[in-house]
Chain A
Amino acid sequence: MNPYEDLPQSAFWKTAVANRSMFDVDEIWNPKFRIQKKHKILTYGSCFAQHIGRALDARGFNWLRPEQAPRGMSAANATRFNYGIFSTRTANIYTTSLLRQWTEWALAGVEAPGEVWTHGDRYLDPFRPRIEPDGFETPEELYQSRSQTIRSFAEGIKEADFFVFTLGLTESWINKDLSYEYPMCPGTVGGVFDESQHIFQNQQFQKVLNNLIRAIDLIRGANQKIKFILTVSPVPLAATMTDRHVAVATMASKSVLRAVADQVSANRPNVDYFPSYEIISSPIFKGAFFEPNQRQVNPVGVNFVMDNFFRCQEDKFGPLSPSAEKKAPDGDNLEIVCEEEILGAFQNA
């Protein structure tokens, strides 16, 4: 008699993985919470988070989008203006420190910085540099737009049942004097790089953890019932500012994020972790879900991840709500909005 004898098949590599086709690997997630159609779900994070919102929507779940495109706008133009990409127009929130920053603007009375970038005669928001296809007409318009997003971000938090957040990066760029963080290095998608002002910081475990906890605590302070589902983006870094090979830097970064997600979900009853990172990146799946550049996730991989998400819910809690009918996600062919891609483009220049 030993403690392993009564464990389920999923606990053993041989029965869970080695003796199966990779497509038959199941029970990869043991969800803490039942998600039903009535639940309001927010999605934020790095590029990969965009798939989660679309998949929820396609399956009839209540993907909460407090900041909507104007009525009558075509779907193509709504995407062009970054409506319906995340729950509000925050653009990608790559790091836990950026999540903390948005949360403090929305819920802690912290004033968003006044910095604007110029692009010809237009103005870019340093915190969402590509949110408007042609930039803003005036700084005032930019501030009003950002304030709208901050208000909507707060409204969503107060209303939601679930907050899904995808951790993407540890590498970050900070304004040295004012201590705020940019989602992208100034000078890449906008702004002008100033080495005396713009400081690179590769965040370590404790900092990533502290920022995530601070954000969660603020959100829970505004909404006691809200629960979190964390994921880690399986998309490798487009570029690293460390002196390491990008593959090594990617592994280091994802390992930190994965460890943080694990620690927070293990220690907090209102936080769960969904293993999209493992489904795409684990050797079990032989890299089959990456595009030929071995960075972007192909549509088969996205569907496989999201099918697992819903199947694991069903396995544990029974059939999905009747009205949450499955239909093919129509977003698979949509372009993912990922400013980080620009870094890859720079290398080609």
Chain B
Amino acid sequence: MHRICILGNSHVASVKQGWDKISGDWPGIDVSFFAQAGNQGLQSVCVDGHHLTSKQSKARNSFSLTHGKERMDIGSYDSFLIYGARSRNYWPGDTFYSRSCVETVIDDLTCDTPAQHVLSCLRQVSEVPIFIAHSPLLAAKKIRDRNVSKEYLDGIQILNQLHYSKYNAEMVAQPLVTIVNGRNTAPEYSWGVTKLSSVLGGSDEKSNSADNTHMDGAFGEVWLTHFFTTRLSAFFKT
């Protein structure tokens, strides 16, 4: 049994819904969550012994809801996935930039994000694999094509080479089948998105219909299936 904890912000709602649909297909994988909507909660987490917790009561309450406990035992997991939490991908474009310039922008993109803070906390006490998922690409209003830009994949590669490799971590690209217009998420994944608090609280309250940043459970299902298949293949479904 491979135990993985998914940490993140409101974007975790999508993968939680996805996991609820497919968990039966992956008996070798046990998934926990540790999330709070917004970013302040994750930014407030700290390492206490071998546990991850927060000094903010609001964050601890959210962790209780999403994780079952206010504190997470870091040592009890075989890997971590930091999902969303303001982690962003890098778009290198076709302009030439010096290495120093690229390193600087990578630092700008990653420093001070809750994702980076959580990554640093986990690495203080754990050496297990850590994966990072950038916040989903904005949902397209219309589909022009179903291409994936090379720039997107290049950006992920550069982020991994210049930044995440230092933490023995890896940013995982969004499944390519969910991408349209080179750089957007297919619009159908953003329709009828359910809020994180509702997902975890068992209700079905929907996000703002104009929200093109959050994705639905179908997206989470595709995302996790792709992730398990490509990164946790030792625990393939039976």
Contacts and interface: CB of A to CB of B under 8 A. Distances in A.
A148 B94 CA distance: 10
Contacts of A147: 96
Contacts, number: 54
Given A77-B104, A77-B105, A81-B101, A72 B91 contact: yes
B95 A141 contact: no
Nearest to A72: B109
Contacts of A144: 96
The CB with the most chain A CB atoms within 10 A, among B91, B98, B99, B102, is that of B98
A245 interface: no
Given A133-B100, A141-B98, A71 B108 contact: no
Contacts of A292: none
Given A68-B95, A72-B108, A132 B90 contact: no
Nearest to A81: B101
Given A70-B102, A72-B88, A72-B90, A145 B108 contact: no
Nearest to B112: A74
Given A132-B100, A134-B100, A137-B100, A67 B108 contact: no
Please report whether the interface of chain A is mostly helix, strand, loop or mixed according to DSSP: loop
A144 B98 CA distance: 8
Interface residues of A, number: 22
B199 to A, nearest CB: 29
Interface string B79-100: 0000000001011110111111
The CB with the most chain A CB atoms within 10 A, among B93, B95, B102, B109, is that of B95
The CB with the most chain B CB atoms within 10 A, among A80, A81, A133, A136, is that of A81
Interface string B106-126: 001100000000000000000
B99 A141 contact: yes
A136 B109 contact: no
Interface string A121-164: 00000000000111011000100110110001000000000000
Nearest to B97: A70
Given A72-B105, A77-B108, A148 B99 contact: no
15 contacts: A70-B92, A70-B95, A71-B90, A71-B93, A72-B91, A72-B108, A73-B104, A73-B105, A77-B108, A81-B104, A132-B98, A133-B100, A136-B100, A141-B98, A147-B96
